[in-house]
Each structure stands twice: as C-alpha cells, then as structure tokens.
Amino acid sequence: MATRYVLEATPRQQFNVQVANDLFTFVIKGYDTFTTVDVLKNGVSVIFGSKLIPNAPLFPVQYQSNGIFSLVCLDEREVVWQNLGKTVSLYHFSESELP
C-alpha cells in the first residue's frame, strides 16, 4: 500500500523519510507560481532546485529506493505551495505497486 507523507501549506519546509536503509531529506521551496524541491539521499544531493511536476515521479528512478516517490495532484497544472497538503500530496509507491 502506498505511503502518504503529509505536506504543509508553507513556502519552506524540510523533512526526512526513511525507506528501507535509505534516508531521504526533502527541502521544498515555494515561490509565487511554482515550487521546487531539493532531495538528498543518505546525505548526498540527488536533485537540487527541481521544479515540482504534478503526477510524475519526483526524481530519476536510479535514485529512488524500493519504489518511487511521486506527487499526487488532484487538479494542478502547476504545483504551488499554497496547495501542499490540500490538493497536492507526496506518496511513496513500493515496487509491487508499480505497473
């Protein structure tokens, strides 16, 4: 079953997610019309300043761990920080849940 991580409707937030033996650190930064994310995996930068894309994997599969992280968006064309935790959620889908 997919795991949902609660996002806050704040323009800046940082949190950690443990998946198996990997620790992911997410730094989300909201701007007027878009939102970016930095991701570290076990302390090493995986992506930096990547624009959040609705309903797509958060970062390249080679950096994922035991599945994928994805933003699930109900009706967004652009991810804005004001909708985080409302119509925009972060999920981790295990390998068994992927097509």
Whether the pLDDT of residue 82 is over 90: the answer is yes
- Residue 78: per-residue pLDDT: 82
d(CA 26, CA 75): 23
Residues 59-74: tens digit of each pLDDT: 887 877 788 999 999 8
Q: Where are the domains of the chain?
A: 3-97
pTM of the complete model: 0.90
**CA 28/CA 40 separation, integer angstroms:** 12
Q: What is the pLDDT of residues 25-49, one digit of tens each?
A: 999 999 999 999 999 999 999 999 9
Helix, strand or coil, per DSSP, at residue 97: helix
Residue 91: what residue type? Y
Nearest-Å Rg of the Cα atoms of the chain is: 13
C-alpha 32: how far from chain center: 19
